[in-house]
Each structure stands twice: as C-alpha cells, then as structure tokens.
Homo-oligomer: A and B are copies of this chain.
Amino acid sequence: MSEPLSSTDPYKGVRDFYPADWARLDAMFGRVRETLLRSGYEEYNASPLERSELYEAKTSEEIVNEQTYTFTDRGERRVTLRPEMTPTLARMVAAKRRELSFPLRWFSIGNRFRYERPQKGRLREFYQADVDLVGLPEGEADIEIVRLASALLKSFGASEESFVIRMNSRPLLNAACAAAGLTGESVRQYLRLLDKKSKMTPEAFAAASSTISAKDPLAIITDSGAAPEVARLKKALLDRIAALAARGVSNVVFDSSITRGFDYYTGMVFEVYDTNPVNPRAIFGGGRFDGLVALFGGAPVPAVGFALGDVTLADFLDAHSLMPSGSARVPQLYVGTPRTPDIPAAQAFADTLRAQGCRVFVNISDRALGDQIKDAVRRGIPLFVAYGANEIANQTLRMKILATGEESALPVSELPARLRSGS
C-alpha cells in the first residue's frame, strides 16, 4: 500500500459523475423514463458484457471491426462491452419468444461503449435510452414510435418548431438502387456512402456516387415516374407523414438521404434534428428492423424503435434552455447543531422528518453555527434551522430561508407540512 498513485484521472474517454453531474443526467433520463412508463412501456436491462458473436453479423462493419471493446476471458470466451442495445434486445426476445405477451413495449436506459480513436476526443462511454415496440408490422406501430419520439422531446417543453423529424424508408432506397441497376454488395456500398452524405461536399458525394452507380438513385426517388415501385413506396411514406401530421406530429419531413448506419433496418428510418443551427448533429434516430430476432432461428418478429443518447439530448436541451434541474434530489432542510452534544437529538429529530418523506441534512461536524449556515448555502440547501437545547425546551424553531435571509418562528410540529408545501 505504499507506492503513490500517479493520477486521479478517470480512464481515457469516460466521465466521472460528481453529484451535480449525476443529478443532471438523472433528471434528464428520469423525465424520459416517466414519459415512457406513462405510455405503457416497461423497462428491461442486461449486462454490458455480451458474447462477441452477437455483433459480428448484425451491426455496421465499422463498429464491429474498429469500434468495440472486445477481449478474451480466461475461459477463452470472446466478450464485448455492448456498443448498442438492439442486438441484446433481439437476443432476449428470441430467448423467451414463446412466453412473452406481444406486442412488447420495452425500453432500457444505460451505458454503451465504443472504442473511439483517442485523437477524436469522443466519448468511449455514453448513456442511451433504447425504446422499442416489438411484434407488430408497420402501420400503427411505426406511427406510435414516431409519436413517442416526438412526445419525449415535448415532455421537456420543446415545441415542434425546435426540431424536425427527417424520415425515409429502406425499401424505398432499395427500390431506387434496384431501378439504378445496383445489386447486392453495391447497394450496401451505396447506402454507406449515403450515410456520410451530410458530412461531404455535394461534389465529393456525386463523384463517389458515380463510382458505385452510373444512374443516381436519389434522382430516381425525386423523379419516380419511370420507376413504379419507387413511386408506390414514396407515396406510402408521404401518406405516413400526412397521417402523423393529422395525429399531432406535424414536423416530419421526407428526406431521401437519411439511411441510419446499421445494416439491420428493413423499413422506415428517421432522424431527429435540432432546428437551431448551433446544434447541427442529429439528436437521435431509429427505424424498423424486422429481421433481427430471426437471426436466432424461428419466424421473424417485426420490430421498430429508436435510441436517444445523453450527449446529443443534453446539447438540444441546453440550446433551447430546456434542461430540467436536478433539485428534486437536494436536501430540503439543513438542521444545524449549536453544540456537539446536540447532535443525537438533532439526528433523532431529522429522522422524524425523514419518516414523513422529507430530505434532511444534519450537521455532525464541530463547526460554529454561522459556518453551518455558510455550509448550507454552499450545498444549495434552501432552508436552515438550528436544533438544540433551546429549541427542544420551547418546541419552536427559527427557520431561515437562505435565498433571502428571511427568518420566521414556527412550532416544531408545523415543520413537516412547511417542507411538504415547499416553502
């Protein structure tokens, strides 16, 4: 126990959450959780340790090859720290497909890991809410998922003017690729290029596109007169967008360049963007993936969902001044102790308040009462009372509102009601 440790830094690319940081994250995902529970969704979870096999066929190549934490355990098993939740969801659904009551409305909130290259300065651990509706084909299920994605942002007070939902369809893209003469691997190559379009100049995209395809699939989508299947799928998507507008979500637009990075999408795909130009990245996105559960055998189980990460959500909320405060976790009352021998009675008094649901901090240090008041201010605790021999004898407290310095006397018996009323 003798060599000094060289650094107090966390591991590279991950964050320490001091109480104020955690209260912020918790308030944010607490709001998300509350909205999802009200919508009839149930929370599930799993270990971040997953068998590596799960990621080898199903996610985008870049993630499997370059961006996972994968190692071999002492039993020669290959283990990966989950980079995303969807393969775990598919595994869990496949494992109990005979027992579960479909449709499943499931969500999971937790950490995901990506081995980002150090020079990029990006996070290697982030938090994400994954929301999925499993067991129903497109139609009402897709509409519910998009309405829910919108409801989550609105639950923070966001208006429809503050974000836009860009929607596309993989079958539409596939039909356009087919009409352009692409097949097999060249379709996947084109979709991967399209996924990077927003980060490229139009000239660079056109040049790269022309090496894959002589005809431009996006032009075929725009002018679909000569491609009836493309026209049919485009109309279906525009009808979906109109239905969403009729049902309270009027900020959905068609965007033929939205693809989503993962290979497993089979239907609708969408990404939600901040309309504030200071925050140009997608906030989150999702889509339909009807083939994933069947990778474990058995009949396909259709599914649709999305995932919402902590960093992009916080950027959006900060940009619109909508970040909820973490104050529901700060103690409501600081009980000061005039002298050290008062501590046992103060603790017992605090326990009676706690039993009534109040959050109460008790001083057990030997600092002077004036310093205890300063300590309460520093901790952001709004109310202060001293509790010692005088207060016990008179059963009366002087309560100090620290924001204003205002003081008032009140009987001990009235304190719980005052704390519950929040004043």
Give the chain B neighbours of A197 by CB distance below 8 A. Answer: none
A26 interface residue, CB < 8 Å from B? yes
A10-B47, A358-B38 known; A263+B1 contact, CB < 8 A: yes
Q: Which residues of B contact A375 (CB under 8 A)?
A: 101
- Residues of A232-281 whose CB lies within 8 A of B: 246-248, 263-264
Contacts of A6 in B (CB 8 A): 53
On whether the beta carbons of B106 and A19 are closer than 8 Å, the reply is yes
A39 close to chain B: CB less than 8 A: yes
Within 8 A of B (CB), among A134-167: 136, 140-141, 144, 147, 151
Q: Report if A49-B8 is in contact (Cβ < 8 Å); known contacts: A19-B42, A38-B360.
A: no
Question: Would you give the 0/1 interface string for A339-365, flagging 1 where the beta carbon is closer than 8 Å to chain B?
Answer: 010011001101100100111111011
Inside 8 A of A53's CB, which chain B residues have their CB? 5-6
Instruction: Report copies per complex.
Output: 2
The A1-44 residues at the B interface (CB cut-off 8 A) are 1-12, 14-19, 21-23, 25-26, 35, 37-40, 42-44
With A and B bound together, what is the CA distance between A200 and B140 in angstroms? 63
Chain B residue at smallest Cβ distance from A380: B101
In the complex, the answer to whether B329 meets A43 with C-beta atoms within 8 Å is yes
From B5, B17, B26, B247, contact of A344 by CB (8 A): B247
Contact among B4, B46, B291, B378 for A297, CB-based, below 8 A: B4
Say which one of A73-81, A205-213, A220-228, A393-401 lies at the interface with B: A73-81
> B14, B23, B35, B49: which contacts A14 (Cβ < 8 A)?
B49
| Beta-carbon contact of B37 and A18 below 8 Å | no
Is B42 a contact of A378 with CB atoms below 8 Å? no
**Contact (A46, B75) CB under 8 Å given A91-B8, A140-B343, A362-B40:** no
Kindly provide the distance from the CB of A385 to the nearest chain B CB, expressed in whole angstroms: 14
Chain B CB within 8 A of A174 CB: no
Give the CA-CA distance A183 to B92 in the complex, in Å. 54
Across the two chains, which residue of chain B brings its CB closest to A248?
A: B348
CA distance A14 to B26 in the complex (A): 25
Contact status B103-A365, CB under 8 Å: yes
Over the window 68-86 of chain A, the binary record of Cβ atoms lying under 8 Å from chain B Cβ atoms (1 yes, 0 no) is 0101011101010100000
Q: How far is the CA of A51 from the CA of B9 in the complex (A)?
A: 9
Chain A 310-351 interface residues, beta-carbon cutoff 8 Å to B = 329-331, 340, 343-344, 347-348, 350-351
CB of A379 closer than 8 Å to a CB of B: yes
Judging by beta carbons under 8 Å apart, are A115 and B73 in contact? yes
Q: Residue A58 at the B interface, CB < 8 A?
A: yes
- Which residues of B sit under 8 angstroms from A2, Cβ to Cβ? 57
Name the 7 nearest CB pairs between A and B, nearest first. Answer: A40-B361, A14-B47, A8-B95, A19-B42, A71-B71, A38-B354, A140-B364
Using A11-B47, A101-B379 as known contacts, list a sample of 6 further A-B pairs with CB atoms less than 8 Å apart, ordered by residue number in A: A7-B51, A10-B51, A11-B51, A23-B42, A42-B329, A136-B365
Would you give 20 A-B contacts (Cβ < 8 Å), ordered by A?
A1-B57, A2-B57, A3-B57, A4-B297, A5-B57, A5-B297, A8-B95, A10-B91, A11-B50, A11-B79, A14-B47, A16-B46, A18-B96, A38-B354, A40-B331, A40-B362, A71-B71, A74-B115, A75-B118, A247-B347
